[in-house]
A = this chain, B = another copy of it.
């Protein structure tokens, strides 16, 4: 079950990474598929490095690479059509974020880490791929510039760990994990829709994050 959610998150991030490559950086097919794979697998690889679970699952299990490459190719071919829905790139990012927060936290918890550490690793898994993507195309990472990005990921990871801890996941299984991911997803999408931001430093009258003028 976790594997299915993990592959779904990989696919969402691959589409998102490929669309970012097309729109923000105007890359060719190799660059598009490469950025799709890095965005899709980056979070999981960082998680596995921090857990010491090496080589990372990506190299042991070829399905992740296949799903990431397929997602990148699909987004490359249909980038024009997908690009029409201007919010799709953000919604795909929110989907990957939610799914990886839950699977990352669950995997860390299964490998014996404490609940707090599992929540942190889930959050790192969720925001890792997107952060590497933003660094490679020279954007300020979303995790820094967007108020409601790390917080819903931490919430989803915490719900997933709580479900494992209380045994709810033994009874409910998939619904518990999907509920945790769904909560994260809804908060993230609502935050984007209403432009919710976390508070700025006291007395800061400046315009916005450093990246505001760049996405253009």
Contact = CB atoms under 8 A, between A and B. Distances in A.
Interface in A78-113: 79-80, 113
B206 A144 contact: no
A195 interface: no
Nearest to A50: B55
Contact of A121 (B59, B201, B202, B208): B59
Contacts of A35: 144
Contacts of A147: 28-31
Nearest to A141: B136
A207 to B, nearest CB: 8
How many copies make up the complex?
3
Q: How large is the interface on A (under 10, 10 to 19, 20 to 34, 35 or more residues)?
A: 35 or more
B55 A52 contact: yes
Contacts of A50: 45, 49, 54-56, 59
A138 interface: yes
A59 B149 contact: no
A25 B210 CA distance: 5
A138 B134 CA distance: 10
A204 interface: yes
Interface of A: 21-22, 24-32, 34-35, 45, 49-52, 54-56, 59, 62, 65, 76-77, 79-80, 113, 116-117, 120-121, 131, 135-138, 140-141, 143-151, 197-204, 206-210
8 contacts: A30-B198, A45-B50, A62-B116, A77-B202, A80-B203, A135-B135, A135-B136, A136-B140
Given A51-B55, A59-B121, A137-B210, 12 more contacts: A22-B204, A27-B145, A30-B147, A31-B143, A31-B146, A31-B198, A32-B201, A34-B144, A59-B113, A62-B116, A65-B120, A76-B201
